[in-house]
Chain A
């Protein structure tokens, strides 16, 4: 059974704070690691797709890193804003399949 774990499950931060979340995944048969943002009443939307060990991706104030050898990825948000409030999901993909295996997500609430 493939297990993808995310921590923390939820957190509240003040506007302007920086924060980070962790995604742990199996280190064998790695193919890709995805991060999604899921806002209430909307569809999950992809933030990053990461495929190589040591990958670092950035989009505005949000960035992510990947370590496939030890099986973890970090998502960082710098200077959190209320509009960053959402559930952040990571998804792991193994080679040879079309499956995306999701973690339970980290629910972020940014307080103004």
Chain B
């Protein structure tokens, strides 16, 4: 148990659906992250938020829409996805300082059909 909770753990959605992934942490961290893990690729950074403000958008397509209403919650809204978007989506949080590590959720395994 890392203190970072993601829901749902598994999601199957059609290309015309709209769904959302949720991430929650009560570790007192100010930075929150979305990463994508595709087969045989490194963890790919998607978005970073610090104190609710987006600080990084790694050229992510607009069909992925993040939302960070407060420092404890992070959402990833999904719409009109493609089959190649099927992947493991990991949320993480950190204090952001030099000596601080990231704490990860267990991920959402997304399948787009």
Q: Which residues of A contact B (CB under 8 A)?
A: 4, 31-32, 34, 36, 41-46, 49, 51, 89, 91, 93, 97-105
Determine if B31 and A98 form an interchain contact, defined as CB atoms under 8 angstroms apart: yes
Cα of A101 to Cα of B43 in the assembled complex, Å: 8
> B48's contact among A46, A49, A99, by CB below 8 Å, is which?
A99
Cα of A45 to Cα of B92 in the assembled complex, Å: 11
Q: Which residues of B contact A (CB under 8 A)?
A: 2, 4, 31, 33, 35, 40-43, 45, 48, 50, 55-56, 90, 92, 94, 96, 98-107
Determine if B56 and A99 form an interchain contact, defined as CB atoms under 8 angstroms apart: yes
If A32-B98, A46-B102, A49-B99 touch, does A100 touch B45 (CB 8 Å cutoff)?
yes
Q: Which residues of B contact A36 (CB under 8 A)?
A: 101
Determine if B101 and A34 form an interchain contact, defined as CB atoms under 8 angstroms apart: yes
Q: Which residues of A contact B45 (CB under 8 A)?
A: 99-102
Determine if B100 and A49 form an interchain contact, defined as CB atoms under 8 angstroms apart: yes
